[in-house]
Amino acid sequence: MLKYKTEQENFWSGEFGDEYIHRNTLDIIPCRISMFSNILKSTRQINSILELGANIGINLHALHALLPKAKLHALEINDKAIDELRKHEWIEARQGSILEENFTQLADLSFTSGVLIHINPDALPKAYAALYNSSQRYVLVCEYYNSSPTTLSYRGKQERLFKRDFAGEMMDIYPDLKLIDYGFVYRKDPNFPLDDLTWFLMEKQ
């Protein structure tokens, strides 16, 4: 197991990240397909996608179903999740941290889903830079939203879950990022529930 600079990185690369894999099952792929179909309606000509913090690739499974010709790339911090990603020849998986990677190959769309909420707030500028610098067009964040920064307990652990306006902060830092669309997926949706995710799709102008 690699060692990283922040407590949160080491937390997700280790045993807790291993346990998360077992809770993160392929059963929710239809719900993700529903969400991404709504997101992709506001895009055009996406030929490559990069997910930063892909875990076992549930989002990429959904995107592969919707855009079977697109090249799919994943960055993932956890050893066991990387092994799962590399079982699929249509995913190019790379192990590492969103806070430490340099991106020379750009994707049409780069995104996170449930990743920024687990990053040390002091390190968020690096995560935002990774999202921005790895995209040549669209940036998507699918996270828990709160209008002001707040910290919550996560499965009995402290300093592991943070909510804020991630997209708003990114647009403040990068003025050429413009909001294209946004939406919310409710945990009690009768057909395609997800865990109260709010998504924001931005485009470089």
Tell me the per-residue pLDDT of 105-163, one tens digit each, with 9 for 90 and over: 899 999 999 999 999 999 999 999 999 999 999 999 999 999 999 998 776 666 679 99
Q: What is the pLDDT of residue 146?
A: 97
Instruction: Tell me how far apart the alpha carbons of residues 133 and 44 are, in angstroms, rounded to a whole number.
Output: 20
pTM for the full predicted model: 0.88
| Tens digits of residue pLDDT in 46-79 | 999 999 999 999 999 999 999 999 999 999 999 9
Residue 187 — very low, low, confident or very high, per pLDDT cuts 50/70/90?
A: very high
Complete DSSP assignment for 161-186: EEEB-HHHHHHHH-TTEEEEEEEEE-
pLDDT at res. 11: 59
* pLDDT on residue 17: 47
Which runs of consecutive H residues, i.e. helices, occur in the chain? 7-13, 15-23, 29-40, 58-66, 79-85, 124-133, 166-173
The 10s digit of each residue's pLDDT in 88-110 is 999 999 999 999 878 888 999 99
Q: What is the pLDDT of residue 78?
A: 92
Quick one: fold of 7-204?
Rossmann fold (3.40.50)
Instruction: Give residue 6's pLDDT.
Output: 66
pLDDT tens, position by position, 160-174: 799 999 999 999 999
Q: Would you say the C-alpha torsion 40, 186, 58, 26 has a positive or negative sign?
A: negative
> What is the Cα–Cα distance from 2 to 198, expressed in whole angstroms?
31
Residue showing tokens 């807790």: 16
The pair of three-digit structure tokens given for residue 88, joined into one six-digit string: 């699929």
- Of the pLDDT bands very low, low, confident and very high (cuts 50, 70, 90), residue 27 is confident
Nearest CA to 44 out of 112, 106, 113, 137 is that of 137
The residues spanned by each domain of the chain are 7-204
Cβ(25)–Cβ(56) under 8 Å?
Answer: no
